[in-house]
Amino acid sequence: MRLPVVALGGRELKKQKPLLVGTDVRNLQQLLKRLGFFKTRIDGVFGDDTRHAVIQFQKVLGAKPSGIVDNALFNILHELEQGGAGKWLTIQKDFCHTGYSPVPVPFNLKVAGAKRIPGIIGFNSYTDILIAVARNGVWALDLKNFGILWQNRDLSPTAEASVMGSHIVVPSGNLVILDLYSGKIMKTVDAENITGSAVAGEGVIVAADGGSMQAFDERGNKLWQYKTGGVLCSPPALAYDLIYFASSDHYFYCLDRKGIPYWKTKTVDVISNPPSVWDGKVFAISRDAWFYAVNPLTGDIIWKKKFSDEEFIAPAFHRDFMLAVDARGTLLALSPQRAEIKWIKEFKVPPTTSPLLCPKTAFIGTENGLAALDLLTGKYTFHLEGKKITALIQTRFDIVAATEDEIAVLSPDF
């Protein structure tokens, strides 16, 4: 059936007679399906199934379960769509490494399922598919029932993967490109020492190879190589059509997509974590705990501060602050604009993952379970207590965490 073209948000959506039909209803159904609420065929008709999905979505949000999509709900849906809900493409969600999900996962969670796959080092997701990367292979699981879709043990990943269109790019000494839907190896890209995650955009894959940054096309053909003065580079970030990374030569670099240097900035110590791009700035933390905020186009240092001697893991970003966690489990919320301290919270448990931020909640993997922090009240708790968390991801309205032995799905507990 050819649907009338109606922009999402162009009218209030609800069940009525005659039934509302249009591309706006179809877009609504698609988004609700990615979030796990709409479970039947997408047809662009606002009937009982669509109304039920809207009600379930409103309940999770804590809104009145009216089944009506009004302006307030459209604004939430728009934010979810713009924020890439249902897609976790790289180490910290996107190629800017923000670690932020617009999906409002609540504080109270319960274990809703588990799958025994040991040795997980990273996750990705794409709509209904969860990608689990372990030291001895890659698995794809169906988020609807947590069944295994495929597995590939013909590679030994060295770092988290990245998703590029219908492909998964896996560091394994070289770069291995897998088909997202079958797990088959499409291409093995020869390289000397790719141990960190790659970034990809507009058909170009960029990854650190020892002290160099290399770029390849989707078929694995080498496009260019840029050598730094160091022996190791951080994983890159991608924004503004530019590539950002740091090298063990104590420089912070920016290249264009052709590998031509844009700028480089001297740092006091080595930056080993991938830089992050947020709020018109590039952020990085060096091993000696200096925080840097850099102009993305010039490389000029906007601010540079040090708050403790403890080493920090890669930060995550929220609409109101950036969140950094040190090796002792102290959480530091900073203003991205001026590095002003907004609040400090002490878990006193060593972190094992970078933070994952949702609108009202922060999640952090630790040596003693999954820490959940209510950003409104400051209250925190631990899920999977006593277990070391090795990887973390937000999918649908759930949090998926890996322990040393298994993968656990934690869903809202209402």
Percentage, residues of the chain above pLDDT 90: 76
User: In a 3-state reduction of DSSP, which class is residue 136?
Assistant: coil
Output the CA angle 153-34-76, nearest 5 degrees. 135
Q: What are 35-44's pLDDT values in tens digits?
A: 888 989 999 9
- The pLDDT value given to residue 414: 67
User: How confident is residue 202, by pLDDT bands cut at 50, 70 and 90?
Assistant: confident
Contact 205, 225 (CB under 8 A): no
User: In a 3-state reduction of DSSP, which class is residue 298?
Assistant: coil
Provide the residue type at 414 as one letter.
F
Contact 123, 130 (CB under 8 A): yes
- Considering the four listed CATH numbers 3.90.1560.10, 2.60.40.1120, 2.130.10.10, 3.40.50.1100, the one that applies to the domain covering 87-412 is 2.130.10.10
Q: What are 315-339's pLDDT values in tens digits?
A: 999 988 999 999 999 999 999 999 9
Same CATH fold, 87-412 and 23-82? no
Distance CA 255, CA 299 (A): 11
Q: What are 221-274's pLDDT values in tens digits?
A: 889 999 999 999 999 999 999 999 999 999 999 999 999 999 999 998 999 999
Token reading at 250: 């104590």
- Considering the four listed CATH numbers 3.20.20.70, 1.10.101.10, 3.30.360.10, 3.40.50.2000, the one that applies to the domain covering 23-82 is 1.10.101.10
Contact 215, 259 (CB under 8 A): yes
Distance CA 281, CA 240 (A): 11
Q: What are 127-185's pLDDT values in tens digits?
A: 889 999 999 999 999 998 899 999 999 999 999 999 988 999 999 988 999 999 999 99
Residue indicated by tokens 């906007």: 302
| Of 240, 190, 232, residue with least CA distance to 213 | 232
| Of 413, 403, 396, 401, residue with least CA distance to 142 | 396
Domain boundaries, the chain: 23-82, 87-412
- The pLDDT value given to residue 210: 87
Q: What are 68-106's pLDDT values in tens digits?
A: 999 999 988 888 887 777 889 998 999 999 999 998 898
Distance CA 313, CA 285 (A): 8
